[in-house]
Structure 1
């Protein structure tokens, strides 16, 4: 019961009446949202609804024009450069385009997830501490790619590359994972595999995940909770188990405005 109280009382993310615009166009308008510990949230909505902007506010890549953002107890907008760097080390970010170095092996790409905690530049797998190399292989094993650890990333399929990116994020030991359209460029089989891995990590490690998705079916199948944006406004926030595909499709009837 004490753990339940902690989950409810101390969200890992809290947005309070947040607004954000670019070049005179409102992208997010009066958004209030709490993300509890250990929850997988699917963030859905049409292109331009503000999903990517919301994730970047949580990570401190953008600063709100109004309202406040609290991420793991810190306000990214008021953090010093050093504190913001430390905060981002606690927040994993999985991008649509993977962000890997193609000419390097899967293992070395995963090891790069530790660079924020290391003092000196690293060149080659063996320049990393042995303990980190062991952990990196363990995380590749968790995403089903330990046997590909020495393979160049540019020779892997898109789904395999995204799984390497997830393993790299895990090496950070994140307390929160943000995923921005992580399966948008993948085929259905690879998409399901990547989302299943993220879901399993959330459940096994107790890590909150906020994952923006366009695919309604994936959101319903994967998430504990679905949050929908349209035109920069929060228009739905309900447990996934209470929703139907038909209700979610209504969110897409009217395209949103602003950057996504």
Structure 2
């Protein structure tokens, strides 16, 4: 895990009484949260608790109805389109659906993470600058996928595809990584590989990670800190080391609830 959260740097993320609703239904209700640099935060709670909405507020995909959000020192809701694009380039987003082009190789999919910084369209691996190709292979190596770099992504397992997606995110050189249920479609073994990869990258690079999860055991295994939402409100915010699975299951409404 990363360093003791108390010793981490200045907040890279700050929500102050943030609220958001859709069609008259409140999804987030007065949530306040700070995340320091280099911390791995697991965001847990039942389906519909507001986890995905919170992550989208941080990335500027949604605008809060009340309160404020500051991401890497910026207010996404007040950013111009240009500034919002620049902010999003500093924030990596890993989704449940991998978002890869199946017919392309793992290496080319990773390289596509740099398209926003390139002026001309690219067709094929060799059309990318040499320095970018080197970096892409390095990131694939970090996630244990360098030996599969020329393999079509639609021939990879789900866990392998998600690790390629993580490598693509790393090519952005993000200062913050948001992961929205990144292992929801994976089996337990593949899930732990993906989450341990994110944990290691957070610790080695000092990148903050906010990862929404349903699986309580995974949250306790990889996170520095666990934040729980229920009914749109923040109901728990504590170091992972001091929490039990039984206590976290209570967030889901019953001590016997399933982790997912």
TM > 0.5: yes
Aligned equivalents of 2:167 and 2:8: distance in 1?
Answer: 28
Aligned equivalents of 2:130 and 2:35: distance in 1?
Answer: 35
Q: Report the counterpart of residue 14 of structure 2 in structure 1.
A: 14
Task: Give the SS at the match of 2:135.
Answer: helix
Q: Report the counterpart of residue 165 of structure 1 in structure 2.
A: 165
Q: Report the counterpart of residue 107 of structure 1 in structure 2.
A: 107
Aligned equivalents of 1:103 and 1:81: distance in 2?
Answer: 32
Contact residue 44 and residue 214 of structure 2 kept, 8 A? yes
Shift of 1:116: 1.3
Aligned equivalents of 1:60 and 1:109: distance in 2?
Answer: 24
1:54-133 equivalences under 5 Å are 54-133=54-133
Shift of 1:121: 1.1
Q: Indicate how the Cα distance of structure 1 residues 211 and 33 shifts in structure 2: closer, same or farther if over 3 A, else same.
A: same
Instruction: List runs of 5+ in structure 2 lacking aligned partners.
Output: 255-260
Q: Report the counterpart of residue 257 of structure 1 in structure 2.
A: none
Aligned equivalents of 2:117 and 2:31: distance in 1?
Answer: 33
Aligned equivalents of 1:61 and 1:121: distance in 2?
Answer: 25
1:14-53 equivalences under 5 Å are 14-53=14-53
Task: Give the SS at the match of 1:238.
Answer: strand
Q: Indicate how the Cα distance of structure 1 residues 174 and 6 shifts in structure 2: closer, same or farther if over 3 A, else same.
A: farther
Contact residue 7 and residue 37 of structure 1 kept, 8 A? no
Shift of 1:8: 5.8
Aligned equivalents of 1:9 and 1:173: distance in 2?
Answer: 18
Correspondence 1:151 to 2:151: yes
Instruction: List runs of 5+ in structure 1 lacking aligned partners.
Output: 255-260
Aligned equivalents of 1:5 and 1:139: distance in 2?
Answer: 26
- TM-score norm. by structure 1 comes to 0.94
Task: Give the SS at the match of 2:68.
Answer: strand
Aligned equivalents of 2:114 and 2:8: distance in 1?
Answer: 31
Correspondence 1:201 to 2:201: yes
Shift of 1:117: 1.0
Shift of 1:10: 2.3
Contact residue 106 and residue 153 of structure 1 kept, 8 A? yes
1:33-64 superposed Cα distances (whole Å, 9 cap, x missing partner)? 00000100000000000000000000000000
Correspondence 1:191 to 2:191: yes
Task: Give the SS at the match of 1:12.
Answer: strand
Q: Indicate how the Cα distance of structure 1 residues 64 and 174 shifts in structure 2: closer, same or farther if over 3 A, else same.
A: same
Aligned equivalents of 2:148 and 2:243: distance in 1?
Answer: 39
Shift of 1:118: 0.9
Shift of 1:5: 11
| RMSD value, Cα | 1.6
1:167-212 superposed Cα distances (whole Å, 9 cap, x missing partner)? 0000000000000000000001100000000000000000000000
- How many residue pairs get aligned? The number is 252
